[in-house]
Every structure is written in C-alpha cells, then in structure tokens.
Structure 1
Amino acid sequence: MASLKSLLASSTRLVLTLKQQSNVIYIKRTFLQPKVTLFKRPESVLQWKFPGGCISFRQPSSSTAAKAGQGEDSFLKWFLLLIPATTFGLGTWQVKRRQWKLQLIDDLTRLTTAEPIPLPIDPHHVNSLEFRRVRVRGHYDHSKELYIVPRSPVDPEKEAREAGRLSSSVESGANVVTPFHCTDLGITILVNRGYVPRQKIRPESRVKGQVEGEVELVGLIRLTETRKPFVPKNDVERNRWHYRDLEAMCRVTGAEPIFIDADFGSTVPGGPIGGQTRVTLRNEHMQYIITWYGLCAATSYMWYAKFIKKIKV
C-alpha cells in the first residue's frame, strides 16, 4: 500500500513538470484512455485533438488546387498552339522556295536557249558561265575518248513528268567525251558529244559517227563535279568515269579545264546523240505547300475546338 502511494506521488510530480514545460499534452491520472477528436475546419486544416492540446495539419485548399490546374491548362493551351504556328511557317517557307525554284528554272531556260557566244579562252571567265551556250570551231581527237557511265538518254519532257520517282529509264549506255582542238583559240577542250547505247560504246562499233576534219558546234559550258555519296569513284585505268572530274580528265587527255555539252544539232548519223544536258529541276513545292497549310488548318481547328469552344476532341 505504501508503495502504491509512493508511485502515485511520483506520477503527480511528473505530470506537473510536463505541464509546466509544454501546453501541448495534458495527461490525467486516470486508467481510462484519453479522448481523441479528429475534425476538419473550413480552411482545410486537419487537427488531432486530445485533452491538454492538439496537433494541426494544413491541407492545400481547393482554390489553390484549382489555380494549379488552371496554370497547367494555360501552359498546355499555348504550348499546343506551336503546332499550327510551326506548320504555317513551313508552308510559307515552301511558298518562297517555290518562287525561288521557278526563277531558277526560268534563268536556266533563258541560258540554254540564248544565242551562243564565242568561247572565252580564260578558264576563270568560263567558270562564271555554266549552262551558257557557246560556239567553237575545230576538230576531234577520237584516240582519247572518255566514257561517263552509266548514262541514260536525256528526255526533258519525260524527266519533268517523272521528277521525284524512284524508278528511272532502264536504258543504259554512256556519254562520250572527246578532246576537241579549237583552231581559232589554239587550245584543246573537252566536248561531251552525247549518248551512245551500251553496245555502241566501243569506237569501232560506230565508225561512221567518228567525225573527221574541222567542224563547228554549239554547246553548253559545264563545270567540274564533286563525287556525291554512293557514287563510285572514277576508274581511270579502265576509262570508266562516273562523274565529271575535270582535273583528272584533263590530266589524262592533256586538255584545258574547259568542258562543254554539245547540243542536239551536233548529232551525226551513227554518232553519239547530242543535247545530253540535264537542266530539268524538281519542283514539288506545291505539294509541300498544300501539305503544310492543310496541317495548319486541321490543327488550328482542333486547338480552337478544345480550348475556345471546349469541345471534347
């Protein structure tokens, strides 16, 4: 009994001490469990209340959550507007590209149909005259022919119709490049006489077409080419050229770095077919314009329906 009274006295002193140090917890001397009340205040504060104190937990209010949701919707709204804006910009860019391409085609047409001029002797001057028609007089040196392979005959109307297609003409042959000594200029240049089918590549198979003596011809000035990806390297030893490398061709033939494509009027019976200059340019920009502006219209309507009219799409 004395021990129980001593335990109660110690407990009383402990409670008084805790009460003085904190107003949060108050413990009654009772053998019953403390009453705990949990309720929610209008300002979204959760409190855990028990005799002698309480513990509060503040929750985000509905207005705060609504503001956060509105912020996210606003960001998504203006972010998705970039899609029609971008497609509109791409369509406008294609309009300008089409104008540039049409102007380029017009310039090439005027160059390739203009009256021929005498061939300049200065190679530096020639470099600024690509696709310009020139007139030369002289004779061929058939013993040093070069062959650009594989080549198909040029048909401008057909190539304009088939521009952009993966397939092309199955007819294959070569373009015959022959040194041409200009008697009035005293220099030797290279002339692409034109196309021959595969069975006519060897000179002895087209003896009638090997022009002898002095001739006058008209051609278009062409510049050197850079090897494109996937194009084989030129095989100088076997005389198989895949692209126009003027430096190497002139080194083999001893000609000046001047190259012209003979026009169709230079063609002789049994010889190469002249006029093998490809000046057809792909012009598919109208398709791109329709595509980009169509996407702009469709995405603009979807954006308007979603964020302005609030229609579920």
Structure 2
Amino acid sequence: MRRYAFVGVCLTLAALFTALGFWQVERRAWKLDLIEKVETRVHAAPSPLPPPSQWGGDLAYRRVRITGRFLHDRETLVQAVTVHGAGWWVLTPMRLSDPEPAFRRATGHPLILVNRGFVPNERRDPASRSAAQLAGRVTITGLLRTSEPGGAFLRSNDPAADRWFSRDVAAIARARDLGPIVPFFIDADSTANPGGFPIGGLTVIAFRNNHLSYAITWFALALLSVGGSVMVMRSGRKRR
C-alpha cells in the first residue's frame, strides 16, 4: 500500500512539474515578444506624446519628442546608482508648449516630469550646473517610462523630508504642488546638456530571460518523478 501511495505522489509531482515546465515555455515566448517590442520602440523615430485615451495602455519605452519650458525651481532629486557611480536623477517638470487638443481638454496646459539625467553628489546643487538650467522653449527626445510608486526595495519615499528613492510621478507632483500632470515621465536621451550635466541617455533596458533553463529544470524533475515511480513498481514486482 505504501508503494502505491509513493507512486501516486510521484505521478502527481510529475504532472505538477510538467505543468510548470509548459508555463515557463509560455513565459519565455511572452518575454521574447516583450524584448522584441521594446527594441522596436527604442530604435523607432520619435513620435508625439500619446493622447490621454491611450494612457491606460502599454506605453513603456516608447520614443517621444516634446517641446516646452522647464520649471527648474521645482526639480526633484532621486537617488540613483549608474555606470557613473552613485548620485541623483534630476527630475524637472516641463510645461508643454502648444499641447494637442486632447491634452488640453484632459489636463488644461499639462506638465510632464522629465528625467534629465544623472548628476554626482558634487553636482547636486543646481548652482553647480547653472549652464544646464535652460530657459525658454526646449525640445527633448527620450523614452516614456512608467511611474515608480512607493520607493525602492526596503526604502520608502519620504516626501516630507524630500527623500526620494524612486521616480513616483504622482507623489512628486503632490510634493511640488504641480497640479495636473501626465502620469508617466520621460527619460531624456544622450543629447549633451550645456556644462555636461545632467548626463542623459542612461536608461537601462535589461530583461532577465531564464525561462528556458527553468523549463528544462521542471521537465527534468518531472522525468525524475516518473522514473522514481517506475523503479518502485519494478522493485515491488521483483519481491513478488
């Protein structure tokens, strides 16, 4: 009786492992499609901001071009670690010039947060990079990014203390009293700013794709479970 119970457990596990293996195969197909989609968007010609009717869709990493005026007095520094070391992202609200009618109806004269790039600690003070505090109309090309609410791993944003660990659009807008704002931000491209800072074009696009190895592991466990049940049944027959 114990032998049959053990075989039943092995076959149940084999079915479970097989299902997990096929799930990882499906996940791999989804991930490859996502990577291809993002690569296409990143290298596409820049387009205008999508209208509000599309804001609920998948907009991440779409390449866009906008024109407006920076509100430098309301910039926000968000802690960052990049290839240039530890420092800060400089997020500056931009008031869009001549927005599309759909934008105007939805938000009035809308603002959007622009991640202008990275500055090291010694460039945290805007006075140390005054050449880049551009006045007048500015055109920016970059990638749309989704908001990062809450903070980073084990570190929560603290608006009251002006400590930011993630680019949380809604929270930053409230803290800076920005009013209506586009619900995503833009990572500026590598076009050099006067004076060299902030450094743009540091968007990291990397998707882990270990699904094939996971699938092989699950299928291997399924085979081992089936093999174990076969061995137990054969040993029982030999005893008889």
Answer whether TM exceeds 0.5 for this pair.
yes
| Counterpart contact for 2:151–2:165, Cα < 8 Å | no
RMSD of aligned residue pairs (Cα, Å): 2.7
- After TM superposition, give the deviation of residue 255 of structure 1 in Å: 5.5
Equivalent residues, number:
225
Paired letter, 2:227:
Y
Counterpart position of 1:248: 171
Counterpart position of 2:139: 216
| Rounded Cα–Cα distance in structure 1 between residues aligned with 2:56 and 2:193 | 26
| Counterpart contact for 1:126–1:221, Cα < 8 Å | no
Instruction: Determine whether 1:152 maps to 2:81.
Output: yes
| Rounded Cα–Cα distance in structure 1 between residues aligned with 2:53 and 2:157 | 25
Query: Tell me, which stretches of 5 or more residues in structure 2 are unaligned?
Result: 100-108
Counterpart position of 1:55: none
SS in 1 for 2:78: strand
| Rounded Cα–Cα distance in structure 2 between residues aligned with 1:287 and 1:273 | 37
| Rounded Cα–Cα distance in structure 2 between residues aligned with 1:272 and 1:228 | 22
Paired letter, 1:303:
S
Judged with a 3 Å threshold, the aligned counterparts in structure 2 of structure 1 residues 190 and 199 are, in CA distance, closer, same or farther, namely same
Instruction: Determine whether 1:226 maps to 2:149.
Output: yes
Counterpart position of 1:302: 228
SS in 2 for 1:78: helix
Instruction: Deviation per CA, 1:85-130: give whole Å up to 9, x if none.
Output: 322222221111111111111112222222211124x544344333
Instruction: Determine whether 1:179 maps to 2:93.
Output: yes
- After TM superposition, give the deviation of residue 144 of structure 1 in Å: 1.4
- Aligned with 2:38 (options 94, 98, 108): 108
| Rounded Cα–Cα distance in structure 1 between residues aligned with 2:161 and 2:4 | 69
| Counterpart contact for 2:91–2:114, Cα < 8 Å | yes
Counterpart position of 1:199: 122
Judged with a 3 Å threshold, the aligned counterparts in structure 2 of structure 1 residues 209 and 278 are, in CA distance, closer, same or farther, namely same
Which range moved further: 100-109 or 198-207?
Answer: 198-207
- After TM superposition, give the deviation of residue 309 of structure 1 in Å: 6.1
| Rounded Cα–Cα distance in structure 2 between residues aligned with 1:228 and 1:203 | 24
Query: Tell me, which stretches of 5 or more residues in structure 1 are unaligned?
Result: 1-70, 156-168
SS in 2 for 1:172: strand
Instruction: Determine whether 1:142 maps to 2:72.
Output: yes
Counting aligned pairs with the same residue, the percent is 35
Q: Return the structure number with greater relative CO, CA threshold 8 A, min gap 6.
A: 2
TM-score, length basis structure 1 = 0.63
- After TM superposition, give the deviation of residue 135 of structure 1 in Å: 0.9
| Rounded Cα–Cα distance in structure 2 between residues aligned with 1:263 and 1:255 | 26
Counterpart position of 2:54: 125
TM-score, length basis structure 2 = 0.80
| Counterpart contact for 1:194–1:275, Cα < 8 Å | yes
SS in 2 for 1:265: coil
Instruction: Determine whether 1:89 maps to 2:50.
Output: no
Name the larger-Rg structure.
1
Alignment of 1:245-284 (within 5 A): 245-251=168-174, 252-254=176-178, 256-258=180-182, 259-265=185-191, 267-284=193-210
| Counterpart contact for 1:84–1:297, Cα < 8 Å | yes
| Rounded Cα–Cα distance in structure 2 between residues aligned with 1:266 and 1:183 | 22
